[in-house]
Amino acid sequence: MEITEVKVTLRNEEKLKAFASVTFDNAFVVRGLKVIAGVKGYFVSMPSRKRKDGTHQDIAHPINNDMRKLLEDSILDEYEKTRTKAGNEVPPVPVSEEEFEE
């Protein structure tokens, strides 16, 4: 399986730094991934939904470490490129997750 496209939309929030979508083999897209600023640096949060009990459940996620690393590296690389290209400035109008889902 090949990652054929990664799109990143920057956010200007304390922890949420970007939304991402990833296309696999030009045939399947996963949206709603998030770049989060954590204590030890940036990490990628998988798309999830909130359960009735308040916990979150991943909607889609890698099932092995190799795919997780490939996915995280691809998203974080694109995040850094997008951030650098934007001059580290985020547009003043926030984009909601729903708007990003096209």
Asked if 88 and 46 count as a contact pair (C-beta separation under 8 A), the reply is no
Q: What is the pLDDT of residues 78-90, one digit of tens each?
A: 999 999 888 855 5
CA dist 92 and 87 (Å) reads 14
Going along the chain from its start, the domains and CATH numbers come out as 3-92 (3.30.1120.40)
Q: What is the pLDDT of residues 31-62, one digit of tens each?
A: 999 999 999 999 999 999 999 999 989 999 99
Beta strands in the chain (DSSP E): 3-10, 16-24, 28-38, 41-45, 48-50, 56-58
Q: What is the pLDDT of residues 64-82, one digit of tens each?
A: 999 999 999 999 999 999 9
User: Which pLDDT score, from 0 to 100, does residue 89 have?
Assistant: 58
User: Which pLDDT score, from 0 to 100, does residue 87 have?
Assistant: 80
User: Which pLDDT score, from 0 to 100, does residue 102 have?
Assistant: 45
